Amino acid sequence: MIKEVWQQFLSLISQEVGSRVVETWFKVITLHHWDKDSDVVYLEAPNQFVRDWVQSNYLSILEIHLARLLHVQTLRVIIQVQGSTATQLIPASLNPVFIPAKKEKIVPKYDTKKLWQLKEHYVFDTFVVGPNNSLAYAAANAVAQKPGSVYNPLFMYGHSGVGKTHLLHAIGNEARKFHPTIEVLYQPADRFVSEFVNAIRFDKINKFQQKYQAIDLLLIDDIQCISNKEQTQEAFFCIFNALYDAQKQIVFSSDTYPQHMSGIAERLRSRMAWGLVTDMYVPSLETRMAILKKKAEYVHNFVLSDEVAHYIASCVHSNVRELEGALIRVVAFVLLSKQSITVEIARHVLGPTYQDTTKEVVTFASIIDAMYQTYKYDRAALCSKSRNKELVQARHVAMYLMKKMTNKSLREIGTFLGDRDHATVKHGVEKIETELEANHDLQQKLRAVEAVFYT
């Protein structure tokens, strides 16, 4: 009965919030137990991040619809994290625990420790979560805890330097912590190509296939690098099918959405999109500041002030790697000179190489100019009182981008866009943030606009 109720709920909620939200948040949750005496439903989430997100955004929806389906007047929903102490007091979860697939008796002779190729400092704790990557982070966390059970395959795409590689390594490190016997392999696609070429050259194709089929969690970085390599794609297609059929987890990263990858066979592109496809954007100023402060604390054992973090974040907005490079330069200088980190020191060190370009390059006017290529509305139209549906969305997009890409206040944005008040701007920004979770077309349009500044 519990399974049937949850399936009915998923079908019902899909019509209300959309299938994308259901696939992302609700399908990884299980209806664990219903206490009829106290009218309490216990749900289980795969990790704390998913639990907090669902509880903050969808708790009332859960309580209303589950109460109707269970034919009770009122209902309380408690969401717990799988494996927590509280969940041990009620019956075992209906969701199966991941167990690495049994391997054949004939196993290739290789050192499994060398397979991991993981950078130990790339973990979830050192990853800064923001609006630009929250979905990818949540999915990666769920995959790490239950590989092969949710989001298989997981495909993450975005511009270079937005954190895709960090998340790949974090998945591998977290999975090994939860499942010590799991076989993990992080493999850049170009290295996969080289390995395949060598396997052909030295007649070791069988060993090559055995190696990959023995993996429980395969992490492929920059999968677009196998474009226009037909034999490599054929070999990877076979490996993908073998791992997928054995319920082993596959995770991809790319700079391009699967269906937009040129030089990749259609059947392989479709398989990449079988599971969850999630985007990662260039981080906002606030997120860049948070990244700097966390990197300074975890990597360099420095406490970075808000003023210094703001200055460096304003100088670098293209990608996280360049951001880290700027921080390393500043930290190295103060260590060698035995000085404290100040805005003046940061300005002196970064000098002409890095300039505070946020206010100079990204302005309200330049954002509207960049948007015109995609939305075809000029400032006069965006500032007008027209309530045309497409124009309203473009206006909201402008508000969102102006808030994200400049240091201006909501009041200043509203004044620029036809003397609108800050509450109107706040509503527009929040509406776009919500729609971005499930609207792929909107994601693509925003990427196109941002590419004007970041490429």
Question: 174 φ, ψ to 5°?
Answer: -70, -40
The answer to whether the beta carbons of residues 16 and 61 sit under 8 Å apart is yes
Burial of 340 (0-12, 13-18, 19+ CB in 10 A): exposed
Contact between 251 and 128 under an 8 Å Cβ cutoff? The reply is no
Q: Would 107 be classed as within a structural domain?
A: no
Output the pTM of the full model.
Answer: 0.57
pLDDT above 50 (res 363): yes
Compute the distance between CA of residue 162 and CA of residue 283 in angstroms, rounded to an integer. Answer: 7
Average pLDDT score over residue span 120-145: 88
Here the CATH number for the domain that contains residue 295 is 1.10.8.60
Residue 44: strand, helix, or coil? strand
- Same-domain check for residues 385 and 243: no
61 and 136 part of one domain: no
Q: Are residues 224 and 78 in the same domain?
A: no
Rg (CA), the chain: 24
Same domain, 271 and 306: no
Domain boundary among 250, 280, 310: 280
> What residues have CB less than 8 Å from 451, skipping those under 6 apart?
159
pLDDT value, residue 166: 93
**Structural domain boundaries, residue 367:** 362-454
Instruction: Note the pLDDT tens digit of each residue in 146-196.
Output: 999 889 999 998 877 788 999 999 999 999 998 989 999 999 999 999 899
Task: Indicate whether 98 belongs to any domain.
Answer: no
| Confidence band, pLDDT 50/70/90 cuts, at residue 353 | low
Rounded alpha-carbon distances, angstroms, from residue 326 to 38, 80, 182, 255, 332:
57, 41, 37, 23, 10
- Please determine, for residue 109, whether its predicted confidence score (pLDDT) is greater than 80: no
Mean pLDDT of 215-243: 91
- Whether the per-residue pLDDT at 94 is higher than 60: the answer is no
Provide the pLDDT for residue 116: 52
Instruction: Please check whether residues 152 and 217 belong to one and the same domain.
Output: yes
The predicted pLDDT at position 318 comes to: 64
The answer, yes or no, to whether residue 104 has pLDDT greater than 70, is: no
Instruction: Based on the fold, state whether residues 132 and 264 are members of the same structural domain.
Output: yes
Task: Provide the residue type at 150 as one letter.
Answer: V
| pLDDT of the residue at 356 | 47
Percent of the chain with pLDDT over 70: 88
With a pLDDT cut of 90, the percent of the chain lying above it is: 24
Answer whether residue 96 is part of any domain. no
Residue pair 216/147 in contact (Cβ under 8 Å)? The answer is: yes
Q: Are 239 and 272 in contact (CB under 8 A)?
A: no
CA atoms within 13 A on the CB side of 20: 12
Cβ within 8 Å of residue 304, ≥6 positions away: 292, 293, 296, 297, 341
Say whether pLDDT at 115 is over 70. Answer: no
Residue 326 has pLDDT above 50, yes or no: yes
Predicted confidence at residue 454, as pLDDT, reads 58
pLDDT band of 9, cuts 50, 70, 90: confident
pLDDT per residue as tens digits for the range 392-409: 999 999 999 998 888 777
Q: Which residues pair with 253 in a beta bridge?
A: 156
Q: Which of 203-217, 294-308, 374-388 has the lowest mean pLDDT?
A: 294-308
Same domain, 165 and 242: yes
Q: Report the domain count for the chain.
A: 4
Three-state DSSP at 203 gives coil
Predicted pLDDT at 92: 34
Plot region of 263 (φ>0 → left; ψ -120 to 50 → alpha; else → beta): left
Q: pLDDT band at residue 68, thresholds of 50, 70 and 90?
A: confident
Mean pLDDT of the chain: 82
Q: For residue 251, what pLDDT is reported? A: 97
Judge whether 99 lies within some domain: no
**Both 158 and 263 in a single domain?**
yes
What angle do the packed helices 189-201 and 230-245 form, to 10 degrees?
100
Q: What is the mean pLDDT of residues 361-383?
A: 85
Q: Where residue 38 sits, what CATH number does that domain have?
A: 3.30.300.180
Task: Give me the residues paired with residue 219 across strands.
Answer: 186, 251
pLDDT at 354: 61
Task: Judge contact between 219 and 188, C-beta under 8 A.
Answer: no
pLDDT greater than 90 at residue 223: yes
Q: Which residues contact 77 (CB under 8 A, 6 or more apart)?
A: 40, 41, 43, 59, 62, 63, 66
Residue 202: band (very low, low, confident or very high) from pLDDT cuts 50, 70, 90: confident
Distance (Å, whole) CA 340 – CA 353: 21
Residue 20 confidence class, pLDDT cut points 50, 70, 90: low
